[in-house]
Structure 1
Amino acid sequence: MLISGLGAFLPDRVPIGWAVERGLIDRSAAEEYGITSVTVAGDTPAPEMAVRACRQALERAEQDAASLSLLLYTSVWYQGPHGWCPQYYVQRHTGAGNATAAEIRQGCMGMFSALELAASHLMAAPEHEAALVTSGDNFTSELLERWRFSPHFVMGDAGSAVVLSRRKGFARLKAVNAVTLPEYEAMHRGPEPLFPPGAGLPNKLDFGDSKDRWLAGPDRDPAGPLKLVAAQDELISRTLEESGITIHDITRVAYANGSRERVEGRAMIPLGLPMSLSTWEQGRTVGHIGASDQMVALEQLLLSGELRGGDHFLMLGVGPGLNIACAVIEILETPHWSSALPATVTAS
């Protein structure tokens, strides 16, 4: 299963010092996290950022949107009017009207499931040529404080897109897996009732508060974090085995864009790899951009030439539910849109 195109839309970055000066985040937290800035889209709709990323991915893939057989839209935050479906907006504005379109709402690891579903779709029938997976989120909202809604994470806005193909590509999706620990479901729910839905209430999302309540309440798993750690270790081992490689073959690792402590403690130390192989230096400039963290990191590394043919890119993600996901991508060649390639000179 090949990757033929990648696209990203990153709005302007806002320095975290700006938020500190306005009391939006504590200075001590900002210094502890090490995040330097986050991308803020203002009034640019989330689906519009996804459309821009999709257009870039399709252009880079030299893929006719009309030939796509599947379009999957991954969302984390609210996308638009109540009862409205963002995937059809993307279809309309990219020309992908022949594709089956669906939205995946699985938190910050939704792109992993979207890749797995898209790959399965393409393998299911020979006439399925290519699929488009995209995500967009704008966290500018009175229902969320992007600078401190969750410990170790500051939310940024972005759009991302990837074109999967059966026939051509500069990279190969070698393996993707996920595991769910539903006993952790209440961790991100907090004390709210299930009805009425939270979208119609004035309460703000506060994952830090809901996690503290879960840890102090009866729903806490007596095994603590040990079950989570064991599940992640097994997931990574299985994904590497399916890829036919070992951890020593991994060139770079992308985890959710959190604080340095979170990326190192949850990803790099368990993997036994140094922080220099992580994408944290890039992630700390954009913040936690929803489900787009890992795909934007991949696009940026290819654009700069930091990933080349023969390299292996490991993606690790986690989301409410509790879901953990892992994927391995092998770079086959430097894509034609990389700035690392020498400029083509046309003879006069």
Structure 2
Amino acid sequence: MKTSDVLISGLGSFLPDRVPIGWAVDRKLIDRTAAEEYGITSVTVAGDIPAPEMAVRASRQALERAELDPAFLGLLLYVSVWYQGPHGWCPQYYVQRHTGAGQATAAEIRQGCMGMFSALELAAAHLMASPEHEAALLTSGDNFTSDLLQRWSFSPHFVMGDAGSAVVLSRRKGFARLKSVNAVTLPEYEAMHRGSEPLFPPGAGRSDKLDFGESKDRWLDGPDRDPAGPLKLVAAQDDIVSRTLEEAGITMDDVSRVAYANGSRERVEGRAMVPLGLPMSLSTWEQGRTVGHIGASDQLVALEQLLLSGELRRGDHFLMLGVGPGLNIACAVIEIMDDPHWSTARPVIAA
């Protein structure tokens, strides 16, 4: 979807303390060889901080940086990956209450780690639909400390970190522009992350740990495996990247940096940078390897960190690429229009 005058006016994040991967190796929570091959140095671990509370802290920072009264928000979208709190409870209203987001329409998006792309697409459409829709808050929070998941080894090439992130979209002002965002679903891969587990009773009522490695192996050896194998995934990603770049009015040569899901170096290079024809130096892997795969927050946190450090500046283009269970693939292009006032790279004007 080509967007029109959808601006980014604020970004925020909450990153808890980092735990070195060596700590997990010493406790045999992850195989030493795998840890060395992945290249991930540490992951963020929130302990007992609730996921929605991390989202609140990130949202407050994003709203403060946007210099926006939250009462003017028309939409609040909460993106979740893991369990958020009590069953039957809605985390988006917790964020709405604790940020003072007024009577904004609030909804939760549960779409795995590429859910922020869908939130961007939905929020952009909301803002473009009517001049009365002035701003939207998109936020995510996840705490993977759980007896139902082993964060250090639940999926090959990924180690889960905890975080909160937020972005404020505006029709009025901003330091960056969302130029295009697209997503595609390949439902024939749905069973890849389901494995042999029955649909009832729901997983929340079971004692088995989530193990994507096992479910993928079962899928590869079972009747649901797509005969096209990974070729369909590669073609779908190529198509959606080409479409997003075309709608944004740029080529791959104009891309300054690329953010992909925070996985191992092999995964980021093989699934993102090589297919894009770009060197790893343009990826955000060096930052991502210090926090782990922080759910739906990977790309937003990477964008914030690049702006804080001044590695993204006015005129640069930032490409976000994501993939999630389902199977979903998504892409977005953001143009940096100005150095945000909270960036350390912004020149100080003498009084």
For the aligned pair, the TM-score class normalised by the smaller chain equals over 0.9
For the residues of structure 2 that align with 1:35 and 1:69, how far apart are their CA atoms?
A: 39
Letter in 2 for 1:181: L
SS at match of 1:325: strand
Structure 1 counterpart of 2:76: 71
The separation in 2 between residues aligned to 1:279 and 1:343, in whole angstroms, is 27
State the distance in 1 between where 2:85 and 2:256 align: 38
Q: Which residue of 2 aligns with 1:184?
A: 189
Residue identity matched to 2:318: F
- Name the SS for the 2:239 alignment partner: helix
Partner of 2:345: 340
In structure 1, C-alpha distance between the alignment counterparts of 2:347 and 2:229, rounded to whole Å: 52
Match of 1:290 in 2: 295
Q: Secondary structure at the match of 1:18?
A: helix
2:209 to 197, 204, 208: 204
Equivalents in 1 of 2:102, 2:110: separation in Å? 21
1:116 matches 2:109: no
Secondary structure of the residue aligned to 1:113 is helix
Task: State the 1:98 CA deviation.
Answer: 1.7
Task: Find runs of 4+ consecutive structure 1 residues off by over 2 angstroms.
Answer: 342-346
Aligned position for 2:140: 135
Match of 1:24 in 2: 29
1:342: Cα distance to partner? 3.4
The answer on whether the counterparts of 2:142 and 2:164 sit within 8 Å (CA) in structure 1 is yes
Superposed CA RMSD in Å reads: 0.6
Deviations 1:281-309 (A, max 9, x none): 00000000000000000000001110000
Q: Deviations over 1:98-139 (max 9, x none)?
A: 200000000000000000000000111111100000000000
Q: What SS is found at the alignment partner of 1:115?
A: helix
Counterparts of 1:344 and 1:74 in 2: how far apart (Å)? 38
The match for 1:169 is 174
**CA distance in 1: counterparts of 2:103 and 2:308, whole angstroms:** 30
Name the CA distance, whole Å, in 2 between partners of 1:345 and 1:286. Answer: 36
CA offsets 1:60-82 (integer angstroms, 9 cap, x no match): 00011000000000000000001
C-alpha distance in 2 between matches for 1:294 and 1:14: 21
Contact 2:18/2:44 (8 A) holds in 1: yes
What does residue 85 of structure 2 align with?
A: 80
State which of 10, 15, 20 in structure 1 corresponds to 2:15: 10
C-alpha displacement at 1:83, in angstroms? 0.4
CA contact (8 A) 2:180 2:334 kept: yes
User: Residues of 1 paired with 2:197 and 2:350: CA distance?
Assistant: 62
Equivalent positions of 1:1-348 (< 5 A) are: 1-343=6-348
Q: Give, in whole Å, the separation in 2 of the partners of 1:55 and 1:344.
A: 26
Structure 1 residues without counterparts, runs of 5 or longer? none
Percentage identity across paired residues of the two chains: 87
The superposition leaves residues 187-236 of structure 1 with CA deviations (integer Å, 9 ceiling, x where unpaired) of 00011100000001001000000000000000000000000100000000
What's the CA shift for 1:97? 2.1
Amino acid at match of 2:124: A
- Which ranges in structure 2 are unaligned for 5 or more consecutive residues? 1-5
Query: Contact conserved, 2:76 with 2:107, CA < 8 A, in 1?
Result: yes
Q: How much has 1:249 moved relative to structure 2?
A: 0.2
Which amino acid in structure 1 is aligned with residue 307 of structure 2? L
Aligned residues: 346
Taking the aligned partners of 1:175 and 1:65, their CA distance within structure 2 comes to 25
Q: What is the CA–CA distance in structure 2 between the aligned matches of 1:309 and 1:242, rounded to whole Å?
A: 20
